[in-house]
Amino acid sequence: MTVTRTYAVFVAASLVPAAVLGETPARPQAAPPGAAPKAAAAPAARDAAPDSGYTYEARGRRDPFKSLIGAGEPAPAGRKPADGLGGLAAGDLAVRGIVQTHGALLAMVQAPDKKTYLVRQGDKLADGTIKAIDRQGLVILQDVNDPLSSIRQREIRRPLRSAEGAKP
């Protein structure tokens, strides 16, 4: 029990700053006359937070204080999303019609900005690919951008007619 108390007192005393204990902090010694001034040892980046006494240096590592969820890679500055079908997400599309031409099916889809596009199987979207088109609608293979998820792709079905809009 004595050892534990002694250890606790030692730890507590070592955490108390010298100014609180009545000790004066060490002052830098003045340079002798005629001596060249010394260059600052600390770089300017470390002077940004003088109170904390700690700075994080990445050295190629990930910043531990940034969230992993939904982070993804940020888009480079000055780069805008692709125009047309390549800039649309799978969730933004609404199927407006199915067209058959030369034995192949095409889907007529509408974007949120009310523009209409004809898509075929294999067309690329911002976050996926058109997997299949049938008479009932469209199947999209969407890329999952979640580092904690075990699946990398999922299928999304976009029907031609929604259940609430169907005729009785």
Q: Is pLDDT of 11 > 60?
A: no
Q: How many CB atoms lie under 10 A from the CB of residue 151?
A: 7
* Residues of the chain above pLDDT 90, percent: 27
pLDDT of residue 146: 77
CB distance 40 to 50 below 8 Å: no
Do the domain assignments include residue 120? yes
Rounded to two decimals, what is the model's pTM?
Answer: 0.49
Examine residue 128 and state whether it is found in any structural domain, yes or no: yes
**Better-scored residue on pLDDT, 14 or 158:** 158
The residue type at 131:
K
- Quickly tell me which residue has 């534990």 as its tokens: 4
The contacts of residue 84 (CB under 8 Å, 6+ apart) are 117
Gap between the Cα atoms of 117 and 127, Å rounded = 17
Q: Is the pLDDT of residue 8 over 60?
A: no
pLDDT of residue 18: 53
State which residues form the domain around 154.
Answer: 85-159
Tell me what pLDDT residue 46 has: 47
Q: Is 147 part of any domain?
A: yes
Domain count of the fold of the chain: 1
> 112: domain CATH number?
2.30.30.830
pLDDT in the model for residue 20: 54
Point out the least confidently predicted range of 2-6, 52-56, 66-70. Answer: 2-6
Q: Does residue 54 form part of some domain? A: no
Q: Are β-strands 116-119 and 104-110 bridged in parallel, bridged antiparallel, or unpaired?
A: antiparallel
User: Is 23 a member of any domain?
Assistant: no
For residue 103, tell me if it sits in a domain.
yes
Domain-embedded: residue 68: no
pLDDT tier at 118, thresholds 50, 70, 90: very high
Burial of 30 (0-12, 13-18, 19+ CB in 10 A): exposed
Check pLDDT > 50 for residue 49.
no
**Residue 97 to residues 52, 87, 139, 151, Cα–Cα distance (Å):** 62, 21, 14, 30
Residue with tokens 């599309």: 93
In a domain, 75, yes or no: no
User: Tens of pLDDT along 80-101?
Assistant: 567 888 888 888 899 999 999 9
pLDDT of 38? 57
Alpha helices in the chain (DSSP H): 2-15
